[in-house]
Structure 1
């Protein structure tokens, strides 16, 4: 058969994120303290950026529907005026309400700084080095965005599939990819899966150790080694050898990747009631105020500037503008998501925790016309402060359980379980079955297994350990 040349036209889809979009997604994910650290690094690396020490607090504006201006073209950067750029801050008419409580001295930034790598950044770094297909890598990023500070995956496969507009099989492959990353045990759905992932990483998969974890984790917790020895026909000494291996595993694989030493989370958003209406204030305390350097802008317009230096300044100028715009876009998106959240959970803000309603990411996404993955990034590792306390954004999202009063939020059920255990007799704690029966008397039909699941998510030990530790 002879060789021939011919032209074929093929239609293919490929995921491509522009540097600007990548930056926006990155900043959207960062909570307040990490954003401050990121900006500090950019200030050191980019001479076009400088601290704006003269910026006054943003004043309250009336709400309007005007949109931000289109991004500035690179070839027009030299024409940008700094005052005009910062005038865009109020373009959409919203009060982005940067919080600055006064002129009192603020804690030094160094108090919050740590050289420990952030878990999310550590996982993304490994993802960038991965040779997995683009489709899997894109979903894996969503998976990483739904991992909590302890290293556990908090979204279901179905939720991730919806966020990523993909199928469950792709989600499974993406989760499996992330579970191969360091630290061992990351992206597990529960403690059992977390320990099994670590056992496999040690080369002890399909051994007695894995079988003990899969079938007798409760017996290990209660030190009922006789049950395990009898089940596998081995001596108690052999059981203890395997248990010692299990005891050395890390139940919270993300523990060593915490960036801050602060025990109390810093609110990213404040929601306060003023004259019957809720006001949303973004906490900008500790975030460096930036502006474009006038000195370097004037230098950039010099006609006799060498080509290489002008090219360098052009690139830095572009990066500076993109950073400023990305910060503003991040704040606008967080504001809009909070605004929608207040609308859906108004009864909670009016009356308290007992009135939190079932809500999912899709509800907010549809309300704002945004993608679920965007809502996921906004609500990840961020906190909201209101008159009822300080809450993780994910507190407001939960599925519905049936009750005599209609659909009830799983968040509320967990809160009820927490209250029941707080009020129990510590010398004779309640079993999961007894808690289930108590909830049924309140009209909430919930199985013992579900109580155990929610108790573990609340990091509350089982009955025997609560009695032992006088929990």
Structure 2
């Protein structure tokens, strides 16, 4: 067989993800707080962008920018019309006069967003809210080190105590052995035991324990219950207590079941994770992206634009572009203007897509908005995508990390998309409504005789909901509800 080299001409099509398209997809997918941070970051990197005050009337963009579906993004809508900045006209800028630098310094020199430099006329509403100011949270290590410095330990003991505190995990437990701590500090084991006992007396109660039993025993001793039945249960019968085998524990300890139940209630008041209140995670409050309000007999969608700055291309840089003599400066400004125009259009396209998706959700979930979770109907992304003429991936991105304020409360947009279960009558039932029924059954059960998963499945079958026992167990675990054996209470609380 002879081998030879030949040239072939082939025509193919492929989708190329441009940086602008990647930005549009990212803007569509991020939540509100991430979008605000992204806008602030872009304004810091792009000097052409500036914020517009609400009193300024801005013309609308006439240029077209491809949407995330590959279609042309239009900002015109009969019900919602975003305001935007006109695309920069490079040719018209070349005919402007000289730049008034004095005017520029007075109006733009000392302000990041291009607002007047003098602060006397600013409204108080422009100032950040008190809850938005950054403060450093007090960590568990900081709290313990503060107590260590106030203690009457010697300098060597405080150094050893610092080693112990540095080896605590997020829950406040000491995961290293005493021998390892002694080796790291270069001291003997007996000294380490003594200092550890001193650290275990610090706040929060139960800190620096090496096991769950030791953590609970420390708290019982601080309550003066070191020799009580509760301490005996924690020290010698923690596994039986976890399984709630009160009858077996009563026989082994030769006490009544009422005493075991009382001791279990005391133990239930203790904190198994002393470091829980000193977590490093910040509290993030939910701000709705859309408001769904009922006006007369119709539900009206209102986009929450509060806090999102209105952007435009700086007039100053337009004049600079017209008067710049170097091609390098012109190219830089033109690139920044194109990036600014694309960012503005991408934000408006995001708001428009979010509006359309929310309107479609209202069509499918009107009964939920009227009557609550029990009327939530099964819904998939494909249903909304077909309704608004977009791809499923676009709907998925538009509903990710977005929240809606409805007459029934605040819900994530993903909440409205739920799987279905087939009822005995052949109708589809929302899985979320089934979970609500399970939750209501368990909350109304007799604590002394809780419902098993099989019993719950049989009760749902009476409501024409065909569901298996293992599915009930799955939903119960997702809701964080214990099985019937651990929900059982032998005596009234």
Q: Same fold (TM over 0.5)?
A: yes
Q: Deviations over 1:217-243 (max 9, x none)?
A: xx999779xxxxxxxxxxxxxxxxxxx
Q: What is the deviation of 1:89?
A: 9.2
Number of matched pairs: 307
Q: Please list, as runs of the form range in 1=range in 2, the aligned pairs for 1:33-44 lying within 5 A after superposition.
A: 33-44=33-44
Alignment correspondent of 2:376: 356
**Partners in 2 of 1:220 and 1:378 — Cα distance?**
49
Find the partner of 1:261 among 283, 306, 317: 283
8 Å Cα contact 1:109/1:286 also seen in 2: no
Deviates more, 1:416-425 or 1:382-391: 416-425
Alignment correspondent of 1:25: 25
Q: What is the deviation of 1:455?
A: 1.9
Q: Deviations over 1:61-83 (max 9, x none)?
A: xxxxxx985239xxxxxxxxxxx
Q: Deviations over 1:100-147 (max 9, x none)?
A: xx99678549838799xxxxxxxxxxxxxxxxxxxxxxxxxxxxxxxx
Alignment correspondent of 1:49: 49
Q: Deviations over 1:279-307 (max 9, x none)?
A: 10111222222221111121122142x22
Q: Please list, as runs of the form range in 1=range in 2, the aligned pairs for 1:309-388 lying within 5 A after superposition.
A: 309-388=329-408
- TM-score computed with the length of structure 1 as normaliser: 0.57
Alignment correspondent of 1:438: 459
Q: Deviations over 1:195-232 (max 9, x none)?
A: xxxxxxxxxxxxxxxxxxxxxxxx999779xxxxxxxx
- TM-score computed with the length of structure 2 as normaliser: 0.55
Q: What is the deviation of 1:467?
A: 4.8
Alignment correspondent of 1:167: none
Alignment of 1:71 with 2:65, yes or no, is yes
Q: Would the alpha carbon gap of residues 12 and 89 (structure 1) be closer, same or farther in structure 2, given more than 3 Å must change? A: closer
Find the partner of 2:293 among 272, 280, 283: 272
Alignment correspondent of 2:430: 409
8 Å Cα contact 2:321/2:333 also seen in 1: yes
**Partners in 2 of 1:221 and 1:375 — Cα distance?**
49
**Partners in 1 of 2:55 and 2:458 — Cα distance?**
59
**Partners in 2 of 1:446 and 1:221 — Cα distance?**
32
Gaps of 5+ in 2: 67-72, 84-122, 137-238, 245-278
| Helix, strand or coil at the partner of 2:323 | coil
Q: Would the alpha carbon gap of residues 435 and 68 (structure 1) be closer, same or farther in structure 2, given more than 3 Å must change? A: farther
8 Å Cα contact 1:36/1:287 also seen in 2: yes
Q: What is the deviation of 1:333?
A: 0.3
Q: What is the deviation of 1:330?
A: 0.3
**Partners in 2 of 1:114 and 1:28 — Cα distance?**
30
| Helix, strand or coil at the partner of 1:24 | helix
**Partners in 2 of 1:269 and 1:376 — Cα distance?**
16
Q: What is the deviation of 1:386?
A: 1.0
Q: Deviations over 1:409-464 (max 9, x none)?
A: 11211121222223333454332222212211222111111111122222333334
| Helix, strand or coil at the partner of 1:54 | coil
Find the partner of 1:289 among 290, 294, 310: 310
**Partners in 2 of 1:452 and 1:49 — Cα distance?**
54
**Partners in 2 of 1:221 and 1:46 — Cα distance?**
62
8 Å Cα contact 2:75/2:348 also seen in 1: no
**Partners in 1 of 2:283 and 2:324 — Cα distance?**
50
**Partners in 1 of 2:458 and 2:341 — Cα distance?**
59
8 Å Cα contact 2:51/2:312 also seen in 1: yes
Q: What is the deviation of 1:324?
A: 0.3
Q: What is the deviation of 1:363?
A: 0.5
8 Å Cα contact 1:97/1:280 also seen in 2: no
Q: What is the deviation of 1:391?
A: 1.1
Alignment correspondent of 1:448: 469
8 Å Cα contact 1:52/1:291 also seen in 2: yes
Q: What is the deviation of 1:96?
A: 5.7
8 Å Cα contact 1:272/1:387 also seen in 2: yes
Q: Deviations over 1:163-186 (max 9, x none)?
A: xxxxxxxxxxxxxxxxxxxxxxxx
**Partners in 2 of 1:464 and 1:454 — Cα distance?**
17
Q: Deviations over 1:379-431 (max 9, x none)?
A: 11211111111111122112221224522111211121222223333454332
Q: Would the alpha carbon gap of residues 350 and 57 (structure 1) be closer, same or farther in structure 2, given more than 3 Å must change? A: farther
| Helix, strand or coil at the partner of 2:43 | helix
Larger Rg: 2
Gaps of 5+ in 1: 59-66, 73-87, 116-218, 225-255
Alignment correspondent of 1:184: none
**Partners in 2 of 1:381 and 1:95 — Cα distance?**
22
Q: Would the alpha carbon gap of residues 364 and 353 (structure 1) be closer, same or farther in structure 2, given more than 3 Å must change? A: same
